[in-house]
A and B are shown apart, each in its own frame.
Chain A
Amino acid sequence: MIEPAVLCSDLYKTFGAGEDAVKVLRGVNFEVPRGEMTFLVGPSGCGKTTLLSVIAGLLNPSQGDLRVLGTPLAQLKGSAAVEFRRKNLGFVFQQFNLLPALTAAENAAVPLLAAGWKRKAAVEKAEEILNDLGLAARTRAMPNQLSGGQQQRVAFARALIHEPQLIVCDEPTSALDAETGHHVMELLRKVAVRPGRAVLVVTHDSRIFSFADRIAHMNDGLVDKIEINSGVSTC
């Protein structure tokens, strides 16, 4: 049996201490299989973003077991955790978080530049991916010259360029209109879902639920329902 990309067992996350302590994750049991797109959904404040941050190694869990791509991520310290993220994870953010001073291709090339690639080679590879994402004519555009959908596609390219095994997306359509959001999710599904790679999407946008292979429902710090989507939308 193939090990899931993410395996959370009885995962807790508490912010603060003593009387001010806030328990955000209250014993999450959850897994993200490879080769699928998994959505994490739920109402505001239920702990979706915190769980995503813990899974991405940006926050340490307070308690419980977490294995990401077979690695006990919480046990990695300092540069090892940074290295793990850089090699194995791709990120898509709600507000895109593109560097305004870099072109689209340069933004997409950032993970390779962080890995020590030469700029020319990194940008060439970024241009190839942007081409696959339908942005061949906009590779030298600055972020402020791109529409929201185009910026998100650049963010996809940045998340995919180093071929990570886990891609985490935080509300990828919330800054886009419905039609653009739909197109963007179509594209994400087309280019990101691969055998061996998992895509985890946090969203509250029910209009895109049809793109998920499975939907994990969170409520009050717990994943309380997993829904398998048999009629998943494909392009």
Chain B
Amino acid sequence: MKYIAWQMLTGDRAKYLGLIFAIAFSTFLMSHQVSIFCGLMNRTASQIDDVHDANIWVMDSKTQYLDEVKALTDQDLYRIRGVEGVQWAVPLFKGTSRAKAQDGKFRGVILMGLDDASLVGLPRSVRLGDPQHLRDPETIAIDETGYRFFFPGEPYALGRTLDLNDHTLKIVAIIDSSAPFVNLPVVYTKYTQARDLVGRERNQLSFVLAQAAPGVTDAEVTRRITERTGLKAMTGNAFGWETIWYYIKNTGIPINFGITVVIALVVGTVVAGQTFYLFTVENLKQFGALKAIGVSDWRIVGMILMQAVIVGAVGYGLGIAMTAGFFAATADNLDLRGFRMLPEIMLGTAGAVFLIVFLASAVSVRRVIVLEPAVVFRG
């Protein structure tokens, strides 16, 4: 009977392809949009994710997310260092500036100021150069996006210069950093240098990066820092999620992506459901004949479900392949870096497709179950 179900399904090529296309289109739309959404949300916390040397972030108690910072005082840094359980704590500057190439091309950049001594906060993946040279005066490291923007089509080379706030700074390293939410180049320099490159606010300390002493948990240290200094302290992971949730709650991004996903779900269900239902109705006499001949309702339900599963699996496979193809084709595009399809998204989309084929076949199953086999004797 599986063979019969398969032949019935694929016998009408137009309907079969219509069903496959409906599922594939829904799958592509859902998996693609959710992937872009997740990538976008991950980007909001990318500078946090790039810090691998310190687990704890300390900031003003009213800070809501990474990109809106109220500066701390140098005194705060010393107070944090004095908290029991803190192995070390270093300053981190995060701000924006404008960089200009020698040919006059300019662009806003995200400026990260790293502790002069330890350079804690620098991403570990270096494309070219030695980040230790950041300790030299008037030096910077720049991410690949920035380098390609300022020096398009040119091979990676060290020693080139950019102007920031009337300082001519030499590039000593090219960094592979995560893509930020706003697709600006990221420039790294030492903390004291960064302070000179931005405006003249009294305090320039954006964050303090700290590490718990051996034997003390991050949770305990963050609790102590908050208790002793009144500042907000949390792990990088928690701060990353807090930043992501800030964007989810305070921007229209999730609503826009959510609408697209719901439309994909509804359109997929309606088109697949309608096509599947029409397919069943047109084969009603044949199903009636099978019932009369002695094929049980359950076997016919099994045939319909098998058809639905085949359509779902093939459509899902094609849709996922389309999404994977999109991300594979754009893998080298630096503007789209960080966007990828996660296994969780594939699983979630599979669940949604299962829902679509279940709903699409449920109506057909009902129609066949209530079908009276005597219908075959009505000419």
A residues whose Cβ falls under 8 Å from a Cβ of B: 49, 52-53, 56, 58-59, 79, 82-87, 89, 91, 93-95, 97, 99-102, 106, 110-111, 113-114, 119, 158, 170-171, 174
* Contact A49-B378, Cβ < 8 Å, known A97-B285, A102-B4: yes
* Contact A99-B4, Cβ < 8 Å, known A58-B373, A58-B377, A91-B376: yes
Identity of the chain B residue whose Cβ is nearest the Cβ of A103 in the assembled complex: B7
CB distance from B369 to the nearest CB of A (A): 13
Please measure, in the bound complex, the distance between the C-alpha atom of A102 and the C-alpha atom of B292, giving whole angstroms: 18
Please measure, in the bound complex, the distance between the C-alpha atom of A171 and the C-alpha atom of B379, giving whole angstroms: 9
Contact B379 A113 (CB under 8 A): no
CB distance from A164 to the nearest CB of B (A): 10
Check if B294 is an interface residue, CB within 8 A of chain A: yes
Identity of the chain A residue whose Cβ is nearest the Cβ of B378 in the assembled complex: A49
* Contact A49-B1, Cβ < 8 Å, known A85-B294, A101-B10, A114-B299: no
Contact A79 B296 (CB under 8 A): yes
Q: Which of B7, B11, B290, B374 contacts A114 (CB 8 A)?
A: B290
Identity of the chain B residue whose Cβ is nearest the Cβ of A155 in the assembled complex: B289
Contact A93 B12 (CB under 8 A): no
* Contact A95-B7, Cβ < 8 Å, known A56-B292, A58-B374, A170-B377: no
Contact A101 B379 (CB under 8 A): no
Q: Which of A79, A95, A110 contacts B293 (CB 8 A)?
A: A110
* Contact A82-B7, Cβ < 8 Å, known A99-B286, A171-B379: no
Contact B377 A86 (CB under 8 A): no
Contact B295 A119 (CB under 8 A): no
Listed by A's residue number, 28 A-B pairs whose Cβ atoms lie within 8 Å are A49-B378, A52-B377, A58-B292, A58-B372, A58-B373, A58-B376, A59-B372, A82-B295, A82-B296, A83-B294, A85-B293, A87-B294, A89-B294, A91-B293, A91-B376, A93-B376, A94-B379, A97-B285, A97-B288, A99-B7, A100-B286, A102-B4, A102-B7, A111-B293, A114-B293, A114-B294, A170-B377, A170-B379
Contact A59 B374 (CB under 8 A): yes
Tell me the residues in window 16-69 of chain B with beta carbons closer than 8 Å to chain A beta carbons: none
The residue among B7, B290, B293 with the most chain A CB atoms within 10 A of its own CB is B293
* Contact A49-B294, Cβ < 8 Å, known A95-B285, A99-B8: no
